[in-house]
Structure 1
Amino acid sequence: MNYGMISAAGALELGDMLFGLITFIVLLLVVGKFAWKPVVAMMAARQDKITSDLDYADNSRDEAEKLLAQRKSELQSTQTDAVNIINTAKANGEAQSKKIVADAHAEATDLKSKAEADIAQAKQDALNGARDQVADLSVAIASKIIGKELSTSDQQALIDDYIKGLGD
């Protein structure tokens, strides 16, 4: 009798086990059909988003590095342009300074030449005026001393002698 109870208990246990196994398999199929696929799809979508975000970050970093290199190149070019502009301005300033000095020197030389010419002309005019005055005075003096009129050629000879004496 003892054996009979054990076998009925074993059969009951085996039936429970088969029921539990079939329920587990059915539950696994239901979960696989209704829950597993959406979870897998959700995980795949999440993985795709993370991959996309990482690719976007890599592309953004590469683009930022290219932009940085471009900005550095533009800055170097701008600095070179600035140096060239400064050098050109210096050269233009020096050239203009030299031109102004040369023009001033030329103007001073012209003024000096004109002044010398004016001085020479004034000296010549003064000598001519003095000669005329000396001629008139010498004729007047000679007339009084000699008491007679001198001829024009005699007057001219006296004047020339007198002027030579003044020049020496």
Structure 2
Amino acid sequence: MDLIKPEIGLIVWQTVVFVILVFLLAKFAWRPILGLIKDRESSINEALDSAEKARLEMKNLQASNDKLLKKAREERDAMLKEAREIKGKMIAEASTEAEQKANKILMNAQEAIVAEKHSALAQIKAQVASLSIEIAEKVVKKELDNKEDQMKLVDSMLDDVKLN
């Protein structure tokens, strides 16, 4: 076993170098490395906190949006209901107004028919009276003694007269 032979001088020098290296690292490297690690840790924690705040804010915004949407839907439904009611009222009013106008036109037409009827009857009465007077004049002028001749004259005159 000659291969593994510890030499004390080499071990001492390696130990001295190792202690110097640890001392130099502790003085110059550990503090900056630990500072960087702490800075990185604090920036990660800040990012996590801001992400949590953003998540909560998004949740609040979503709830607010849901409330606004619900309110908008309710307002839309109310507006549609009101529009339907107004439409129904307008149709009912138009129907009533049209019915009243139709009744008025019908009544005016009936009144016009009755007035024309009375006017026609008055004209017929006037013509009959005029014809009667003419017949009476002719009968009187002729002075017929015979009643049979008078009737023949009246009949012939009635045949000559044309009613319009």
Work out whether the TM-score is over 0.5.
yes
Aligned-partner Cα distance in 1 for 2:24–2:75? 75
Please name the residue that 2:45 is paired with. Answer: 51
Please name the residue that 1:123 is paired with. Answer: 117
AA partner of residue 130 (structure 1): I
What whole-Å deviation, never above 9, does each CA across 1:63-108 have from its counterpart, x for those lacking one? 1111111111111112112211211111011001001101101101
- The equivalent position to 1:82 in structure 2, one of 76, 80, 101, is 76
Please name the residue that 1:93 is paired with. Answer: 87
Q: How many residues align?
A: 136
TM-score w.r.t. length of structure 1: 0.71
Cα shift at 1:60:
1.4
What whole-Å deviation, never above 9, does each CA across 1:133-157 have from its counterpart, x for those lacking one? 1111111122223448xxxxxxxxx
- The equivalent position to 1:34 in structure 2, one of 19, 24, 28, is 28
Higher relative contact order (CA 8 A, sep 6+): 1
Please name the residue that 2:126 is paired with. Answer: 132
Percentage identity across aligned positions? Answer: 25
What whole-Å deviation, never above 9, does each CA across 1:107-144 have from its counterpart, x for those lacking one? 01110121122112111211221121111111112222
AA partner of residue 95 (structure 1): K
Cα shift at 1:25:
4.0
Which has the larger helix fraction? 1
Aligned-partner Cα distance in 1 for 2:47–2:141? 135
Please provide the CA RMSD for this pair: 2.3
Please name the residue that 1:67 is paired with. Answer: 61
Query: Where does structure 2 lack aligned partners over 5 or more consecutive residues?
Result: 1-6, 143-164
AA partner of residue 44 (structure 1): K
TM-score w.r.t. length of structure 2: 0.73
